[in-house]
Structure 1
Amino acid sequence: MSGPHPQSGFTLLELMITVAILAVITAFAVPSFQSLIMLNRLASEANELVAALGQTRTEAIRVNRRVILCRAATDGGTVAAATGCVAGGGRWAGWMVFVDADASGTYNPNAASNPDEVLIRTHAFHGNLLQTVAGNALSGAGNRIVFRPDGLARAPGQTLLQTATLRLCEASATIQQNARDVRLGGGSRVSVARATSAACAAPEDV
């Protein structure tokens, strides 16, 4: 007849060591995971804007009219296109792309008198973390990027090729390269540059 089998398990000391190890791993893993989420969000928003600029240029050539990408207001998380383009400084809530059929520089569709003035694309920035601010050149152009039928962008009322920078940023004092600068150069060249701005300041024009 055999005696009772001894019960196996963790001692209190072993459990404490395991918990301490998990705490150390978590302390390193959580910031890295948060950083990864932030970088993916920035990349996604930058790609969306780059695609919109490409579409704006393509549509201008296709319809042989001016097509504008501009800062837009939002209402309830969606772009309020009816309010038109938003001028001035400050944080962007969203943007929209439209055919400027009457070459007025403003979005004023009218089924009878201006039927070709149509909205092509809109995008609203969600959440409080992402901040979007324009450089001086873009702010000074009424926050409008205007592509002409020749496929080149010129600011409203200007003949020179347009340059513009829009910064997508999440404020952080610890994470490097917490911003993406979407740049338009020479009226048609679009690029994205990584930047670091703890307070998400307006970008310098290049």
Structure 2
Amino acid sequence: MKPIHASIGMAQRSPATSPCLMLTRPYTRSDGIPGHGDAPVAQESRPKRKYTMRAHGSRGFTLIELMVTISIVAILLGLVTPSFTSLLNTNRLATQANDILGALTVARSEAIRLDRRVVLCRSDDGASCSTASDKWQGWLLFVDNDNNDTPSATEILRVGTIASDTVSVQGSSAISGQQNRIRTGSDGFARVTANSSAALLQAKISVCIATASPAENAREIRIVNGGRAMIVSVNNNSTCPIPSNS
């Protein structure tokens, strides 16, 4: 009977004192002999995940990637540069032509308001008129109070400069023949001479850049029948010739 009590004692052992978790199911030993009591079954454990640290260093460009990038940039610059140059030259032409047109408009209005002759002339120093035959360096507008056809410090109304290294400004023969002057009488009309009864002026001032970008590389300020002036875009085939009178 002692063996029976011993097995019962084993069956009543507390799982808390057992070296492993005891589950109540019969088992057979590896040698084929039935085991006494419940089979010790170890707890099932999950496989541990292995975590490794990967070095994420900075990655540079390869030679092929660099060459492809440079090629793309060169192509884009080749497409953008002509358009940018054209826009820049167009703005230069418009700015200079509008300045001279504005001066002619002031000459007409001031001549009528003051009942005096107002003169627009080429000026290289901003203080006196110039009779030179090359490209204009600048211009000035004066009211001829003493009728001597020469500006004094108190008569000057406006002064303008010209970037002659980039923009070429030239007057037609009707202007250069009047010593680079455009005289507007008190009636608001420009004439071919200083005489108030002379014929009405028909002339042009050309504002030009010797370039093919843009194709219309000149702006002509046209004075028709001594009246109001207007700006006309002209294609001079990348050159800057002296404009005609008509």
Cα RMSD for the two superposed structures: 1.9
Equivalent in the alignment of 2:52:
2
Counting only pairs closer than 5 Å after superposition, residues 15-34 of structure 1 correspond to structure 2 as 15-34=66-85
After superposing the two structures, state which structure 1 stretch, 97-106 or 5-14, moved more. Answer: 5-14
> Counterparts of 1:41 and 1:175 in 2: how far apart (Å)?
11
Question: Which residue pairs with 2:41 in the alignment?
Answer: none
CA distance in 1 between counterparts of 2:91 and 2:145 reads: 36
Deviation at 1:6, TM superposition (A): 5.8
- Aligned partner of 2:168 among 118, 131, 139: 131
Which amino acid is 2:113 matched to?
A: R
Query: How far did 1:136 drift?
Result: 1.3
Which has the larger Rg?
Answer: 2
- Contact 2:85 2:213 (C-alpha < 8 Å) held by counterparts: no
Deviations 1:14-44 (A, max 9, x none): 2211110110111121222122111101101
Q: What is the aligned-residue identity percentage?
A: 35
- In structure 1, the residue matched to 2:134 is 90
Tell me which residue corresponds to 2:12: none
Residue 182 of structure 1 corresponds to 221
Q: Is the Cα contact below 8 Å between 2:191 and 2:226 reproduced in 1?
A: yes
Which residue pairs with 2:234 in the alignment? 195
Residue in structure 2 matched with residue 122 of structure 1 by the alignment:
159
- Once the two structures are superposed, what CA deviation does each residue of 1:61-93 show, in whole Å capped at 9, x if it has no partner? 11101000011122xxxx2x1xx3222521111
For CA contacts below 8 A with separation 6 or more, give which structure has more relative contact order. 1
Q: Which runs of 5+ in 2 are unaligned?
A: 1-50
Q: Does 1:166 align with 2:205?
A: yes
Q: Structure 2 length as normaliser, TM-score?
A: 0.72
Within 5 Å, give how 1:16-95 maps onto structure 2. 16-74=67-125, 79=126, 81=127, 84-95=128-139
Please report how far the alpha carbon of residue 180 of structure 1 lies from its aligned counterpart in structure 2 after TM superposition: 0.8
Against the structure 1 CA distance between its residues 157 and 119, is the aligned structure 2 distance closer, same or farther, given a 3 Å change threshold?
closer
- Residue ranges of structure 1 left out of the alignment (5+ in a row): 110-116
Of 65, 69, 92, 1:14 maps to 65
- The structure with the largest strand share of the pair is 1
Shift of 1:162: 0.9
The alpha-carbon deviation at position 155 of structure 1 amounts to 2.5
- In the comparison of the two structures, how many residue pairs are matched? 192
Q: Which amino acid aligns with 2:95?
A: S
SS of the residue aligned with 2:211?
coil
How far apart in 1 are the matches of 2:219 and 2:167? 11
Partner AA of 1:58 in structure 2: S
Deviations, residues 109-147 of structure 1 (Å, cap 9, x unaligned): 6xxxxxxx6110010113511111111111112211111
SS in 1 for 2:190: coil
Kindly tell me: are residues 174 and 62 of structure 1, through their superposed partners in 2, closer, same or farther at Cα, counting changes over 3 Å? closer
Distance 1:49 1:174 in 2: 22
